[in-house]
């Protein structure tokens, strides 16, 4: 990693954003302080003729998450997950292709395509192909900004195995941190999620360079005491309260596509803790509170009605070892901020720095609530999702019903999605191409939320990707939201002379 970037004021972590329209693009191997990307409508690949399973291939029904995602696909808001890994050098094309091919064989669940379907069938089905239908690795040339735009706009097709593509963007210029390349992976989220694909990439890195890419052990959390088992849950009557919606700000309502801002930030400091003990809150709790502050301040500045901010947060309990299940394996929990939100809203949403005591109170209350939510045993998309995917009706009728229900329930959808990948558990060491210097993820930003925040930690830094729907927010609004989040995250940092 390079030294922390500085802005005009010289403060660590302050970054001047790079606009997409700037005439000189940033070198591919140089991880940026901040960059804004604007993607248009989904330029979907041309349809290919469907083909039935060949000998040796087998079918499996779509799991619940895959089916509901498939029902709600929209060309104007592509269902892509973008992952970019910054490397010090350029890998050899033939060896990289061979490494990915073998990695896919070791994780055969990623080798899948959707079987041809008709509306009267009982289910959508995946065909496990055993071998790829196409080579997912490409060296397309061009700039990193162009590759990011493709990641936002062009979803890998479901009718060819595997449902991801990996592009190596070579650096043809001398970058201040030594040049290199970016491995940019675009995933069709209908088929799998980012952590599952990262597991396959880690296997490919091991096969390419021979270095040990075994995952680091996960952090050990103290178990919840019985008295906290139900902490943080909301009363049923409040579940029908309409959450806050991020106030729309765009000159082109209903414009297609997503925009994205990426930034490299310092990890906020936490209170010191004794060995073997948990701190009062985690970085994830700080990210949740920073997200709350961003939305509350944005809405306050736009004179939006005061409503509770609710954050949807994926929780991933899968092991990161070589036998990690591949697919969509996270479960979604919805984080509310309880009575503390109502009591502190006026002081925290006001312009300027918030009272540190109020921020600390919200952090500690949020920590109790999120620990309870993470420990709760519930289906991936909630209890209603199983009913929506029960094959009592043809899949075409279930799709129509799911879309209608999603539209009717839109006013009660959460305010924003926060996906915190946490520390990357793998070295991502590609041998002669080097170890990853930075990693970014971005999650889809479909309406009705229209905004997602994704964070990853590598090398003691926090990589942030903010992604928004152009139907609600233009790129200038996205840039401003990024500034609000950066400032809010800094306000959650522990100050050394504070009591812990």
CA separation for the pair 452, 268 (Å, rounded):
20
- Report phi then psi at 472, rounded to 5: -115, -30
Give the Å distances, CA to CA, from 397 to 47, 274, 406, 499.
23, 56, 14, 58
H runs (alpha helix) in 324-448: 338-349, 356-375, 384-388, 395-408
Average pLDDT over residues 75-99: 96
Q: Which of 19-33, 86-100, 118-132, 149-163 has the lowest mean pLDDT?
A: 19-33
13 vs 262, which has greater pLDDT?
262
Query: Quick one: pLDDT at residue 174?
Result: 42
Average pLDDT over residues 291-301: 97
Q: Which of 49-53, 102-106, 137-141 has the lowest mean pLDDT?
A: 49-53
Q: Where in the chain is the domain with CATH 3.30.559.30?
A: 232-424+446-491
Per CATH, the homologous superfamily of domain 58-209 is Chloramphenicol acetyltransferase-like domain (3.30.559.10)
H runs (alpha helix) in 137-193: 144-153
307 vs 374, which has greater pLDDT?
307
Q: Could you tell me the pLDDT band of residue 354, with boundaries at 50, 70 and 90?
A: confident
- β-pairing, 125-128 vs 80-87, is unpaired
Q: Considering the domain 232-424+446-491 in this protein, what is its CATH number?
A: 3.30.559.30
Query: Quick one: pLDDT at residue 2?
Result: 35
- β-pairing, 34-38 vs 58-61, is unpaired
Q: Using the predicted structure, report yes or no on whether residue 481 has a pLDDT greater than 90.
A: yes
Average pLDDT over residues 50-68: 81
Query: Quick one: pLDDT at residue 278?
Result: 78
- Report phi then psi at 233, rounded to 5: -80, 150
Asked whether the beta carbons of 243 and 412 are under 8 A apart, the reply is yes
Asked whether the beta carbons of 452 and 467 are under 8 A apart, the reply is yes
Average pLDDT along the chain: 85
pLDDT tens-digit series, residues 203-254: 999 999 998 888 887 665 555 444 444 444 443 344 578 999 999 999 998 8
Asked whether the beta carbons of 196 and 185 are under 8 A apart, the reply is no
Q: Where in the chain is the domain with CATH 3.30.559.10?
A: 58-209
Rg (the chain; Cα; Å): 22
Average pLDDT over residues 332-349: 90
pLDDT tens-digit series, residues 26-52: 444 444 567 888 877 655 444 454 556
């Amino acid at each position: 990693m390079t030294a922390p970037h500085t802005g005009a004021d010289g403060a660590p972590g302050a970054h001047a954003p790079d606009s997409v329209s700037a005439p000189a693009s940033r070198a591919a191997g140089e991880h940026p302080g901040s960059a804004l990307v604007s993607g248009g409508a989904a330029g979907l690949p041309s349809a290919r003729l469907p083909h039935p399973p060949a000998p040796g291939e087998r079918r499996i029904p779509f799991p619940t998450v895959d089916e509901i995602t498939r029902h709600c696909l929209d060309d104007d808001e592509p269902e892509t997950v973008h992952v970019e890994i910054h490397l010090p050098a350029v890998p050899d094309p033939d060896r990289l292709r061979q490494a990915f091919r073998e990695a896919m064989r070791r994780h055969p669940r990623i080798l899948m395509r959707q079987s041809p379907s008709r509306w009267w069938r009982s289910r959508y089905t995946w065909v496990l192909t055993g071998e790829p239908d196409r080579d997912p690795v490409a060296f397309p040339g061009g700039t990193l900004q162009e590759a990011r735009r493709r990641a936002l706009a062009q979803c890998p097709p479901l009718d060819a195995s595997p449902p991801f593509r990996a592009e190596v963007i070579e650096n043809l210029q001398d970058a201040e941190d030594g040049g290199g390349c970016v491995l940019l992976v675009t995933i069709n989220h209908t088929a799998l999620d980012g952590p599952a694909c990262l597991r396959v990439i880690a296997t490919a890195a091991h096969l390419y360079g021979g270095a040990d890419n075994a995952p680091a052990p996960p952090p050990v959390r103290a178990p919840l005491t019985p008295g906290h088992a139900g902490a943080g849950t909301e009363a049923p009557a409040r579940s029908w309260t309409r959450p806050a919606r991020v106030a729309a700000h765009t000159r082109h309502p209903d414009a297609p596509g997503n925009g994205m801002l990426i930034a490299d930030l310092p990890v906020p400091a936490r209170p010191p803790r004794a060995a073997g003990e948990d701190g009062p809150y985690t970085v994830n709790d700080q990210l949740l509170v920073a997200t709350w502050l961003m939305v509350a301040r944005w809405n306050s500045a736009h004179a939006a009605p005061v409503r509770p901010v609710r954050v949807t947060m994926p929780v991933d309990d899968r092991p990161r070892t070589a036998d990690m299940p591949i697919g969509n394996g996270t479960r979604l929990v919805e984080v509310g901020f309880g009575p503390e939100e109502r009591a502190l809203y006026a002081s925290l949403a006001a312009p300027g720095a918030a009272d540190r005591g109020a921020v600390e109170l919200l952090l500690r209350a949020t920590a109790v609530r999120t620990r309870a939510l993470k420990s709760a045993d519930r289906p991936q998309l909630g209890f209603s999702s199983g009913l929506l995917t029960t094959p009592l009706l043809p899949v075409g009728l279930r799709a129509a019903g799911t879309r209608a229900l999603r539209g009717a329930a839109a006013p009660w959808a959460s305010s924003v999605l926060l996906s915190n990948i946490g520390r990357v558990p793998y070295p991502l060491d590609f041998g002669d191409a080097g170890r990853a210097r930075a990693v970014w993820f971005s999650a889809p930003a479909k309406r009705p939320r229209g905004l997602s925040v994704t964070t990853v930690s590598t090398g003691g830094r926090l990589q942030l990707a903010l992604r928004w729907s152009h139907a609600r927010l233009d790129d200038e609004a996205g840039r401003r939201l990024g500034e609000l989040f950066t400032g809010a995250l800094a306000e959650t940092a522990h100050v050394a002379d504070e009591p812990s």
